[in-house]
């Protein structure tokens, strides 16, 4: 009995795409390599577009889902903050994407992020809370801060002080790994159960 690799769609912006690093050094590629070394069959589809906002993400979301993923890692919002898009609009766009995933029955890992641009305390609190609010509303897994342990640390960042370098992408992947592994195992177990005679 052969279990097909778990197909994981990494959908996001430059932090997913791996801006400024070689393709094998993007966060999805690092996760894929690590999981495969552990004998866990996965296949990542990287749909990260540098500069993308939740506005653009929502427009291309349905087309990206044509790959029929078993799991989606949804990472958007950093550019909304950098472009001063209202948090209510960011939340509405992510809410629409999460509803699409719910309707399709696709397990989801939502990646939050802390504001990279300080737009005042009221904005900052509202922006940070929207990710946990959405995760609770839709019952999805949450990784609260995609750049946790990386933001503000020069050794993990490129010269722009925003995008992770190779060491930074490896650190993000390391922090994401336990949660992704757990979700992949659950999907594998469900697939195996469905193949039982």
At 21-71, the pLDDT tens digits run: 999 999 999 999 999 999 999 999 999 999 999 999 999 999 999 999 999
Q: Report how far residue 175's alpha carbon sits from residue 167's, in angstroms, rounded to the nearest whole number.
A: 12
Catalytic residue (choose from 103, 132, 163, 186): 163
Is residue 81 a contact partner of residue 116, using CB atoms and an 8 Å limit?
Answer: yes
SS3 93: helix
Q: Active-site residue 160, yes or no?
A: yes
Catalytic residue (choose from 14, 25, 26, 70): 14
Residue-level pLDDT at 191: 84
**pLDDT of 196 higher than 70:** no
- The single-letter DSSP state of residue 68 is -
pLDDT digits (tens, 9 = 90+) for 136-153: 999 999 999 999 999 999
Confidence of residue 197 (pLDDT cuts 50, 70, 90): low
The pair phi, psi for residue 126, each rounded to 5°, is: -65, -45
Residue-level pLDDT at 73: 98
pTM: 0.95
**pLDDT of 192 higher than 90:** no
Q: Active-site residue 163, yes or no?
A: yes
Q: Report how far residue 111's alpha carbon sits from residue 75's, in angstroms, rounded to the nearest whole number.
A: 5
> Which residue ranges make up each domain of the chain?
6-190
Residue-level pLDDT at 2: 61
Cβ neighbours of residue 28 under 8 Å, at least 6 residues apart? 8, 10, 16, 18, 44, 46, 48, 73
User: Which residue in the block uniquely carries the two structure tokens 């999981």?
Assistant: 35
Q: Active-site residue 43, yes or no?
A: no
CA geometry: angle 173, 179, 185, nearest 5 deg: 115
Using N-to-C axis directions, what is the helix angle for 87-104 and 121-138, rounded to 10°?
10
Q: For the residues 103-122, what does the mean pLDDT come to? A: 96
* CATH (residue range 6-190): 3.40.50.1110
């Amino acid at each position: 009995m052969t279990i097909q690799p778990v197909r994981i769609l990494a959908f996001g912006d430059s932090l997913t795409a791996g801006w400024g690093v070689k393709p094998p050094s993007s966060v999805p590629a690092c996760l894929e390599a690590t999981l495969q070394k552990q004998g866990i069959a996965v296949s990542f589809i990287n749909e990260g577009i540098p500069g993308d906002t939740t506005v653009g993400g929502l427009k291309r979301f349905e087309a990206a889902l044509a790959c029929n993923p078993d799991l989606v890692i949804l990472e958007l919002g950093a550019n909304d903050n950098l472009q001063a898009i209202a948090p209510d609009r960011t939340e509405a766009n992510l809410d629409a994407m999460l509803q699409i995933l719910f309707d399709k029955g696709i397990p989801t890992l939502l990646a939050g992020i802390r504001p990279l641009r300080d737009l005042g305390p009221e904005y900052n609190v509202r922006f940070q809370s929207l990710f946990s609010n959405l995760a609770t509303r839709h019952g999805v897994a949450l990784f609260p801060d995609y750049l946790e342990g990386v933001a503000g640390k020069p050794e993990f960042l490129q010269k722009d002080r925003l995008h992770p370098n190779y060491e930074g992408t490896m650190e993000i992947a390391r922090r994401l790994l336990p949660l992704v592994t757990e979700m992949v195992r659950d999907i594998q177990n469900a697939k195996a159960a469905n193949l039982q005679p």
